[in-house]
Copies of this chain bind each other. A is one copy, B any other.
Amino acid sequence: MNTKLVVNYLGQISIYYSFIFILPLISAHIYGEDLSAFIIPMIISMALGIAFYVASKPESEYAKYKEGYAIVGLGWLITVLVGSIPYIHYGVGFIDAFFETMSGFTTTGATIFDRVENLPRSLLLWRSLTQWLGGMGIVVLFVAIFPALSKKGETLLQAEVPGLKIEKIRPKMRDTALRLYATYMILTVLEIAFLKLLGVSFFDAVNHTFTTLSTGGFSTHTESVAYFNNPAVEFTIFVFMVLGGTNFVLIYLLLTGKPKFLRDVEFRFYIFILILSGIVLTAMNLGNYDLLESIRYSFFQVASIMTTTGYTTADFDAWGDSAKILILMLMFIGGSTGSTGGGIKVIRIYLLSLYSLNQILKSAEPRSVRLIKLNGEVVDWDILHNITAFFSLYVLIFVFSTFLVSLTGLDAISSISAVSATINNVGPGLGAVGATESYASLHPLAKVVLAFNMWIGRLELFTVLSLFIPSFWRERW
């Protein structure tokens, strides 16, 4: 491990990060709120960054996956720790502040605030901004902006946006990162404009846009999107949630006049699951609502859960148990690769299903070889093996975390859904952590386990988990 390089880059990230606090500072100034809530973390981040940077002059620029993992994994931890200072400043306890900030950057949206309306506006904006930044990736942002970081762009992005493979729009990673962020910015401006046109206040429009496109789901209202009680607003948010769960490369190509949407297998499967689940849930909910209402609430909730946004327009905890199981299933499927959505990802579920079918036939006819294709190309066996390994590990962690959370005294359904909602970066669960509840009442240990699940879920397991294996650190670079 090239430790000096890791510390050096962590220093750089920390320095860049301090500039981010300018945004909430401006809002605090405008709203006449306490500036020190953001000046303190800004100074700490800058000081920490300079200390790291100066203390570690790397002897070599040598960096591989390992170093990328360490930089991104630990970079996220620093980001979250420093980012929780504004909450602590306003009197929130350390574990709760850490939970809320982790929930922000990982775009989970699980909250420990029972009533968000009581919070200062600049703090609410900071809360939404963490999701907007975390959605596309904070390291991606720094790679896009700062030339110094972009030298190691590929290594870092691989650790922050693991997916299956980063589809490069441009040969240089930095150009790709820039174009993805530009796409993100355009969608952001569009959604704010639409919401404003529909009568949503500017403050609410900005906040909800930040947390829609990032599939984060934090709201400035305790009732979430139900607060607006406006089908047009819901429909707008629905569309942008679905875009948030779409591969941003596809959106970029569309904006530059090269629509590849309809030929992309993952996008088609994504839309197929959304529509099918929407119809099934609508049918299930006919006992609770009339047809139009059922369509309205069911399709919104399917999109909100599957894209892992986690907004609510209805208390799905009051729906039937089969509806709840469907919701849990959708949480695990999640969004597309290269989107801001969490979960296992549509393409993995797609390939896993094909591969399973393949395995059944192979077991009956060991000598027959059936290739699996994706977008017309044969998928390498290595990729398929990686997907099953990823899925298995995901399930093992989910089961083990559920057991740990239940040990703190939480009931089974709440434990199962709390872990589902955090490892998949969704936000609200069922029961004690349901749509109308918060995570405030949970045992501190449960909060730590759940925050850990958000972290590994967002960075797709390996980046974070490898940090906990001693031999990862032990070996020399």
Residues of A within 8 A of B (CB): 64-66, 69, 321-322, 324-326, 329, 332, 352-353, 355-357, 359-361, 363-366, 385-386, 388-393, 395-396, 399, 402-403, 406-407, 409-413, 415, 461-462, 465-466, 469, 471-472
Distance, CA A392 to CA B329, complexed state (A): 14
Q: Which residue of B lies closest to A472 (CB)?
A: B364
Which residues in B have their C-beta under 8 angstroms from that of A363? 65, 462, 466
Q: A205 → chain B, closest Cβ, in Å?
A: 37
Distance, CA A443 to CA B155, complexed state (A): 54
B65–A412 CB distance below 8 A: no
Q: A373 → chain B, closest Cβ, in Å?
A: 16
Which residues in B have their C-beta under 8 angstroms from that of A353? 396
Given known A388-B392, A413-B412, A413-B413, contact A360–B462 (CB-CB < 8 A): yes
Which residues in B have their C-beta under 8 angstroms from that of A324? 412
B321–A406 CB distance below 8 A: yes
A364–B403 CB distance below 8 A: no
15 A-B interface contacts by CB (under 8 A): A65-B364, A321-B406, A321-B411, A321-B412, A322-B415, A329-B403, A332-B399, A352-B392, A360-B465, A360-B466, A360-B469, A364-B466, A388-B388, A388-B391, A388-B392
Contacts beyond the supplied A360-B461, A360-B466, A364-B472: 10 A-B pairs with Cβ under 8 Å? A321-B412, A322-B403, A322-B415, A352-B396, A356-B396, A359-B386, A361-B472, A364-B462, A385-B385, A388-B391
Q: A282 → chain B, closest Cβ, in Å?
A: 14
Given known A364-B66, A399-B329, contact A389–B321 (CB-CB < 8 A): no
Q: A354 → chain B, closest Cβ, in Å?
A: 12
* Residue in A396, A406, A412, A469 with the greatest tally of chain B CB atoms within 10 Å: A412
A391–B385 CB distance below 8 A: no
Which residues in B have their C-beta under 8 angstroms from that of A412? 321, 324-325, 413
Q: A2 → chain B, closest Cβ, in Å?
A: 13
Q: Which residue of B lies closest to A390 (CB)?
A: B359
Which residues in B have their C-beta under 8 angstroms from that of A361? 466, 469, 471-472
Which residues in B have their C-beta under 8 angstroms from that of A415? 321-322, 325
Residue from B66, B365, B393, B471 in contact with A356 in the complex, judged by beta carbons closer than 8 Å: B393
Which residues in B have their C-beta under 8 angstroms from that of A321? 406, 410-412, 415
Q: A332 → chain B, closest Cβ, in Å?
A: 8
Q: Which residue of B lies closest to A408 (CB)?
A: B322
Q: A92 → chain B, closest Cβ, in Å?
A: 28
Q: A333 → chain B, closest Cβ, in Å?
A: 11
Q: A475 → chain B, closest Cβ, in Å?
A: 8
Q: A380 → chain B, closest Cβ, in Å?
A: 13
Distance, CA A321 to CA B409, complexed state (A): 8
Which residues in B have their C-beta under 8 angstroms from that of A403? 322, 325-326, 329
Given known A321-B412, A389-B388, A396-B356, contact A366–B466 (CB-CB < 8 A): no
* Residue in A326, A363, A413, A471 with the greatest tally of chain B CB atoms within 10 Å: A363
Distance, CA A399 to CA B409, complexed state (A): 25
Which residues in B have their C-beta under 8 angstroms from that of A399? 329, 332
B469–A406 CB distance below 8 A: no
Distance, CA A355 to CA B403, complexed state (A): 22
Q: A447 → chain B, closest Cβ, in Å?
A: 17
Q: A401 → chain B, closest Cβ, in Å?
A: 11
Residue from B69, B332, B406 in contact with A325 in the complex, judged by beta carbons closer than 8 Å: B406
Q: Which residue of B lies closest to A349 (CB)?
A: B396
Distance, CA A236 to CA B362, complexed state (A): 43
